Amino acid sequence: MLKSPILFAGALTAALALSHAAKAADPNPRDWDAVLAEAKGQTVYFNAWGGSENINSYIGWAGETLKERFGVEVVHVKLDDTASAVAKVLAEKTAGKNEGGSVDLIWINGENFASMKRQQLLMSPDWTTGLPNWTYVDHENKPTILTDFTIATDGLESPWGGAKMVFFHDTARTPAESMPKSSAELLKWTQDNLGRFSYPQPPDFIGSSFLKQVLIETIADKSKLSQPVTDASFDEDVAPLFAYLDTLHPNLWRGGKAYPQNYPDMKQKLADGELDIIFAFNPSEASAGIAAGELPDTVRSFAYTDGTLGNTHFVAIPYNAAAKAGALVLANFLISPEAQARKQDPSIWGDPTVLSMDKLSTDERAAFDALDLGIATLKPDQLGPALDEPHPDWMERIEGEWLKRYGAAN
Amino acid sequence: MTGGVRLARLAPPLTLAILLGPLAFGLAGTALPALGYLPELGGAGFTLQHFSDLAAVPGIFRSAMLSIVIGLVTTLVALGAVAAFVASDLGSPAFTRMRRMISPLLSVPHAAAAFGLAFLIAPSGMIMRLFSPWATGLDQPPDLLIVNDPLALSMMAGLIVKEIPFLFLVTLAALPQTRHAETMRLGRSLGYGRIASFTLLLWPPLYRQVRLAVFAVVAYASSVVDVALILGPHLPPTLPVRLIDWMNDPELESRFLASAGAVAQLGVTLLALLGWVGFEKTGAFLVRISRDAGRRWRHDAALRIGARTVMVASAAIVFGGIAVLALWSVSGLWQFPDALPSGFSLRSWMQALPRMSGPLATTLAVAGLSTLIALVLTILCLEREYETGRGRGGGALLLIYLPLIVPQISFMFGLQVLSIWLGVDASFPALVLAHLVFVLPYVFLSLSDPWRAHDRRHDLIAAGLGMSRSRTLIAIRLPMLTRAILTAAAVGFSVSVGQYLPTVLIGAGRLTTVTTEAVALAAGGNRRVIGVYAFMQTLLPFLAFSIATGLPGLVFRNRRGLRV
């Protein structure tokens, strides 16, 4: 009974000593064979949102494949909020744990990336363009791969998938031709259909995206959005947005006194008949929902004529990750044509690829061409233009403003 | 033999260290950043700035008030229902039936019960579906704010249905120490109604026994996170929910605000407790007035029916909610207003089960080990108390209850920083220790009463026959108390299974349990998946309770005196 604490403390000291001795240079992706050799036997703790069984299965598959081919173990740490992984790395930095951290790879983009980059919590310098599979990545035509919410990625995060805002409705209840084609039309639609639309409460990612979509459509000078907020003109810049919301809110589900939690909650409410129009950041969500028996097969997608928000999501390695080589191998595998084609399959996940079809071999391209994108998924030419994300500063300021105006409405 | 005695002597200080060490370090780890000290984020000095920032947050006072009111109302209704039910039905068949239902009711985790309730009462929920469209004429759910209502009524309902079984269990444990049958008879013979007899004669000594458990309920309800997320108001949410938002904010400076909020939460819970003490005083005053006026309250049928209704309804809600969630876990498309799914599928189970084995193993190992340690420490403490003949001091009992009264959220963050600093985060021993902080009080509380009630004459006879003290413990007392020990183990086990915050923070996402997986998946809001996990989360404690009640009968099948 008395012995165990001493043993415990002894083990602790030994462990600390070991972690100091293990200090070494970061693995270099340009020397890939060395990376593979170092990665073998490592365990990669992949911190990724765990709210979707589809995605969890896909990550499980990637882990099994990695174990088979490269001897790298992948453990999916399921987060309910990506920011908690950021907070974890910070907590480790706070405690002075600069090596052997508990997070090896994070699924990330936007403000979380901006925050980590600014606080220097990421492995640097540029490692992504050194990955062998980077040659397939379509960074020429997909600008959001190099600029994440207007912040230069600088090779500190490796692209994983594309995203674009799309709307869904059930044609059994609402005819396709009555669907709004812009934020202004949406406002009018809610006046005629009281209580049949809502958006997830900010700071939920999808909810904040809705605010940004309206902001882009209503702000007088769009060029301001690529820069951080100017304090002097902020109120004036966002006045149209909040005028829009002030008119919209009484028309919302529950009169705007409660909001759905997130996208899956909206999806459930579409099936429950509580909402008539919902939206997501993944064009194939509706088809995936139909395939899973969560949505009726009469659900269809639509997008705005003048475009909706589009962005890219990434994976990044914290500066103090314990298994950097393993994380590199996983990041590289995730942008392989094989993994990307599987990811785009709606019966698996349905997340759009970040690769360029022109850079693939005939066989690799065939795998993409063979995919059945599903009955409710829009073709690329029907998706409409992709609008750039504003600087993360805007999102933060708008969320704050939203909370101030509506957060204590009751 | 001397070894055993020495161990018992060490047990009380060791137990207190396990309970209070993490608490003290955790609170310090929260208070320092709240005062501005967190060097890695540029907070080197001390300041009160973060508290004034906190006060400037829109709606913060409403959030705090909500938490206080929820703590008080939940406890008042739950305790009132339990007390009135015990008063009116003590000894009746309904009482026995309710008593049998306690274990399964306690097995259902708070979050699962909340999810179940949300689906029962939502405008597109089960009750509405059963009556639509034939009775309501609706083929589209009405736009009514029932779940997440601004007054937190649905949240309080969700808490009340889960606190009732807990308070009922605590009351049952205290009852044998009163002469309840005789006391009630006395009151009745003097012409008082059942509820009046109970309130005037039996309640004062009974309440003294359950008081700390009631405090724990006040504290829990004023600081709960998961139930508030599911059922609570949104604009603004209760204080603990806002704390979690700040802790999760990618703007890392929010950490200071979160820490200040965690300190404020401590104050909020304290205010709720003070409010409760006010209720106690008011209640005692009213009872005295009624007593001195000599009112007999003979016509208390309405109150008695009311209490029985609340008890039955709370059990029905918890069981109904779990049943509906179980149905969701195997359902295909299930649209409003269909009362049943249009198809069934095992897809959710097939997807979830293979990935559940790891978390399941961790759950069992952590719960098993922390319960075992808690049992050993508790038995040694009680044995020490038995030897020294020193009764329980009220102070010592308060210390044991402290981890249940201080809001988890107020010290868990600090504890997380500490565990990382020591380099033991995400390690199995640290997780067991974190669970032990919460398992130990419950095990101690469940076991101490039966232990103290044990008839000392058995030990005297054993000593007379030349048995050593250790031998008496092993050969006489432990076998005779097997049932109580197993019940305490089952309580400890289910407490460990239900732990969310400590597991997430200390397990660092690497050590996951069924509960952390359930909450992560609940973020996706998929009722089918929630159904699978809620079912598993309920099943584990239920098995533990079944073993606790079934095993002694099996082991002692040829010991008539130990059967019940």
Hey, what domains does chain A have and what are their CATH numbers? 27-162+311-373 (3.40.190.10), 166-310+385-406 (3.40.190.10)
Please identify, among B299, B327, B355, the residue that sits at the C-terminal boundary of a domain. B327
B340 falls within a domain: no
* Residue B333 with chain A: CB contacts under 8 Å: 271, 293-296
Q: Residue A217's pLDDT band (boundaries 50, 70, 90)?
A: very high
Same domain, B318 and B361: no
Nearest by CB to residue A264, choosing from B7, B245, B526, is B526
B40 touches A at CB < 8 Å: yes
Is a pLDDT exceeding 80 seen at residue A347? yes
Return the pLDDT at A14: 38
Same domain, B199 and B252: yes
A181 touches B at CB < 8 Å: no
Same domain, B85 and B207: yes
Q: How far apart are CA B514 and CA B518, in angstroms?
A: 6
B425 touches A at CB < 8 Å: yes
B45 falls within a domain: no
Share of chain B above pLDDT 90, in %: 35
Radius of gyration of chain B (CA): 25
* Residue A52 with chain B: CB contacts under 8 Å: 524, 526
Same domain, B311 and B452: no
Q: How far apart are CA A142 and CA A162, in angstroms?
A: 9
DSSP-assigned letters across all residues of B464-533: HTT--HHHHIIIIIHHHTHHHHHHHHHHHHHHHHH--HHHHHHHTTTS--HHHHHHHHHTTT-HHHHHHH
Give the minimum alpha-carbon distance from B185 to chain A in angstroms, rounded to a whole number: 51
Give the minimum alpha-carbon distance from B5 to chain A in angstroms, rounded to a whole number: 13
DSSP strand pairing (A151-152 vs A157-164): unpaired
Q: Is the dihedral of CA A45, A48, A52, A55 positive or negative?
A: negative
Q: How far apart are CA A141 and CA B337, in angstroms?
A: 47
Q: How far apart are CA A54 and CA A269, in angstroms?
A: 19
B252 touches A at CB < 8 Å: yes
Give the minimum alpha-carbon distance from A127 to chain B in angstroms, rounded to a whole number: 23
Return the pLDDT at A379: 79
Return the residue in A81, A94, A148 with the most chain B beta carbons within 10 A, the one to mutate for interface testing: A94
B455 touches A at CB < 8 Å: no
Per the CB < 8 Å rule, is B62 touching A408? yes
Per the CB < 8 Å rule, is B352 touching A95? no
Nearest by CB to residue B148, choosing from A16, A81, A258, is A258
Residues 6+ apart with CB under 8 A from B429: A8
Return the pLDDT at A1: 30
Same domain, B283 and B238: yes
Nearest by CB to residue B252, choosing from A16, A90, A203, is A90
Contact of B184 with B198, CB cutoff 8 Å: yes
Per the CB < 8 Å rule, is B529 touching A75? no
Is a pLDDT exceeding 60 seen at residue A212? yes
B15 falls within a domain: yes
Is a pLDDT exceeding 60 seen at residue A5? no
Same domain, B246 and B367: no
DSSP-assigned letters across all residues of B296-353: -----HHHHHHHHHHHHHHHHHHHHHHHHHHHHHTBS---TT-SS-S-B--HHHHHHH
Per the CB < 8 Å rule, is A102 touching B423? no
Residue B300 has which token pair? 């208390």
Return the residue in B249, B344, B351, B512 with the most chain A beta carbons within 10 A, the one to mutate for interface testing: B249
Per the CB < 8 Å rule, is A201 touching B234? yes
Residue B148 has which token pair? 């997440």
B47 falls within a domain: no
Give the minimum alpha-carbon distance from B6 to chain A in angstroms, rounded to a whole number: 11
Q: What is the pLDDT of residues A306-334, one digit of tens each?
A: 999 998 999 999 999 999 999 999 999 99
Nearest by CB to residue A264, choosing from B229, B423, B525, is B525
pTM over 0.90: no
Give the minimum alpha-carbon distance from B68 to chain A in angstroms, rounded to a whole number: 17
Poorest-pLDDT segment among A113-117, B324-328, B532-536: B532-536
* Residue A102 with chain B: CB contacts under 8 Å: 425-426, 508-510
Q: Which of residues 157-216 of B touch A (CB under 8 A)?
A: none
B414 falls within a domain: yes
Per the CB < 8 Å rule, is B523 touching A51? yes
Return the pLDDT at B233: 92
Is a pLDDT exceeding 90 seen at residue A45? yes
Give the minimum alpha-carbon distance from A47 to chain B in angstroms, rounded to a whole number: 8
Is a pLDDT exceeding 90 seen at residue B549? no
Domain limits for position B354: 1-37+347-564
Angle at B24 between CA B23 and CA B29, to 5 degrees: 95
Give the minimum alpha-carbon distance from B194 to chain A in angstroms, rounded to a whole number: 43
Same domain, B408 and B310: no
* Residue B331 with chain A: CB contacts under 8 Å: 293
Q: What is the pLDDT of residues A137-169, one digit of tens each?
A: 999 888 889 999 889 999 999 999 998 999 999
Q: Which of residues 85-104 of A touch B (CB under 8 A)?
A: 85-88, 90-97, 102
Q: Residue A79's pLDDT band (boundaries 50, 70, 90)?
A: confident
CA dihedral B15, B21, B26, B32 (to 10 degrees): 160
B509 falls within a domain: yes
Strand partners, A300: A169
Q: How many structural domains is chain B composed of?
A: 2
Is the ipTM reported for this complex over the cut 0.90? no
Nearest by CB to residue B510, choosing from A15, A50, A77, is A77
Give the minimum alpha-carbon distance from A306 to chain B in angstroms, rounded to a whole number: 30
Poorest-pLDDT segment among A139-148, B481-490, B502-511: B502-511
Q: What is the pLDDT of residues B415-463, one digit of tens each?
A: 877 777 777 777 899 999 999 999 999 898 888 878 887 788 888 888 8
Return the pLDDT at B154: 95
Q: How far apart are CA B240 and CA B323, in angstroms?
A: 29
Per the CB < 8 Å rule, is B336 touching A273? yes
Average of per-residue pLDDT values in chain A: 88
Average confidence (pLDDT) over B185-208? 90
Same domain, B209 and B275: yes
Return the residue in B333, B345, B379, B381 with the most chain A beta carbons within 10 A, the one to mutate for interface testing: B333
Please provide the distance, in angstroms rounded to a whole number, between the alpha carbons at the two ends of chain B. 33
Q: Which of residues 110-149 of A touch B (CB under 8 A)?
A: 111-112, 114-115, 119
Q: Residue B562's pLDDT band (boundaries 50, 70, 90)?
A: low
Same domain, B413 and B308: no
Residue B135 DSSP label? T
Nearest by CB to residue A273, choosing from B14, B124, B509, is B124
Share of chain A above pLDDT 70, in %: 94
Q: Which of residues 49-88 of A touch B (CB under 8 A)?
A: 49-53, 56-57, 60, 75, 77-88
Same domain, B63 and B139: yes
Q: Which residue has the tokens 């597991």?
A: B503
Identify whether B337 is preceded by a cis peptide bond (ω within 30 of 0): yes
Contact of B265 with B409, CB cutoff 8 Å: yes
Residues 6+ apart with CB under 8 A from B335: A271, A272, A273, A296, B342
B89 falls within a domain: yes
B525 touches A at CB < 8 Å: yes
Same domain, B250 and B144: yes
Strand partners, A46: A76, A105
Contact of A48 with A342, CB cutoff 8 Å: no
Please identify, among B298, B327, B356, the residue that sits at the C-terminal boundary of a domain. B327
Phi-psi region of B91 (alpha: psi -120 to 50; beta: other; left: phi over 0): left
Q: How many C-beta atoms surround the C-beta of residue B7 within 10 A?
A: 17
DSSP-assigned letters across all residues of A290-309: HHTTSS-TTEEEE--TT-EE
Give the minimum alpha-carbon distance from A77 to chain B in angstroms, rounded to a whole number: 5
* Residue A119 with chain B: CB contacts under 8 Å: 252
Q: Residue B47's pLDDT band (boundaries 50, 70, 90)?
A: confident
Q: Residue B296's pLDDT band (boundaries 50, 70, 90)?
A: confident
DSSP-assigned letters across all residues of B340-403: S-S-B--HHHHHHHHHHHHHHHHHHHHHHHHHHHHHHHHHHHHHHHHHH-----HHHHHHHHHH
Same domain, B322 and B364: no
**Domain at B240, CATH number:** 1.10.3720.10
Phi, psi of A347 (to 5 degrees): -75, -15
Is a pLDDT exceeding 50 seen at residue B396? yes
Q: Residue A10's pLDDT band (boundaries 50, 70, 90)?
A: very low
Contact of A328 with A41, CB cutoff 8 Å: no
Q: How far apart are CA B365 and CA B431, in angstroms?
A: 11
Return the pLDDT at A297: 93
Q: Is B249 exposed, middle or buried (0-12, 13-18, 19+ CB in 10 A)?
A: buried
A347 touches B at CB < 8 Å: no
Contact of A60 with A92, CB cutoff 8 Å: no
B48 falls within a domain: no
Contacts 24+ apart (CB under 8 A), B332-336: B332/A293, B333/A271, B333/A293, B333/A294, B333/A295, B333/A296, B334/A271, B335/A271, B335/A272, B335/A273, B335/A296, B336/A271, B336/A272, B336/A273, B336/A274, B336/B124, B336/B128, B336/B129, B336/B132, B336/B139, B336/B140, B336/B141
**Single-letter code of the amino acid located at B187:** G
Give the minimum alpha-carbon distance from B2 to chain A in angstroms, rounded to a whole number: 15
* Residue B128 with chain A: CB contacts under 8 Å: none
Per the CB < 8 Å rule, is B528 touching A294? yes
Give the minimum alpha-carbon distance from A404 to chain B in angstroms, rounded to a whole number: 6
Return the residue in A272, A299, A393, A405 with the most chain B beta carbons within 10 A, the one to mutate for interface testing: A272
Q: Residue B512's pLDDT band (boundaries 50, 70, 90)?
A: confident
* Residue B255 with chain A: CB contacts under 8 Å: 87, 90
Residue B8 has which token pair? 């018992």
A193 touches B at CB < 8 Å: no
A313 touches B at CB < 8 Å: no
Average of per-residue pLDDT values in chain B: 87
Give the minimum alpha-carbon distance from A14 to chain B in angstroms, rounded to a whole number: 11
In angstroms, what CA-CA distances link B62 with A50, A408, B66, B245, B267?
32, 8, 6, 17, 15
